Amino acid sequence: MIVIDPASAVAPFEQLRRQLIDDVNDGELAPGTRLPTVRRLAEDLGVAPGTVARAYRELEAAGIIETRGRNGTFVAPQGDAALREAQRAASTFAAQIRALRLDPDEALALARAALRDAWATP
């Protein structure tokens, strides 16, 4: 949960930036997670939209988040190229499972079975 301390000597955009980085590093925000819009997050935190926009710009420049046009802003895949591609595939899979309204545990069982089959085939 992001909290902005208006009494802090640290600028609000920097507080937000640091907390989002910490949430990504701690795994609380997984790659592919959609972030709130600038206006929505600004409203939720009680800060100006420019504050959130600045934090998002800096995070995007650092490769922490990515903007996908009208689709929104997402946590960017991290790590090497193979891991980033796997994270994208996992995000796509999760979105499809949600759209199909399948139970996450059932979806994981399907994925495990598919992985077992893929690794068993030479």
| 71 and 88 part of one domain | no
Which helix (H) or strand (E) segment holds residue 106: the answer is helix 104-120
- Tell me, yes or no, whether 72 and 97 share the same domain: no
Edge-to-edge strands, sheet with 65-67: 34-35, 73-75, 65-67
Domain encompassing residue 98: 79-122
Each residue's pLDDT tens digit, 7-22: 999 999 999 999 999 9
Separation between Cα atoms, residue 73 and residue 35, nearest integer Å: 5
The string of pLDDT tens digits covering residues 57-104 is 999 998 899 998 888 999 998 767 677 778 778 888 988 999 999 999
Please tell me the distance from the alpha carbon of residue 31 to that of residue 63, in angstroms, as a whole number. 11
One domain, residues 56 and 17: yes
Q: Answer yes or no: do 35 and 66 share one domain.
A: yes
The whole-model pTM stands at 0.69
Which CATH number goes with the domain that contains 13?
1.10.10.10
Is there a single domain that holds both residue 48 and residue 34?
yes
pLDDT of the residue at 103 = 95
Does 72 lie in the same domain as 87?
no
Kindly state whether residues 19 and 68 are assigned to the same domain.
yes
For residues 98-120, give the mean pLDDT: 92
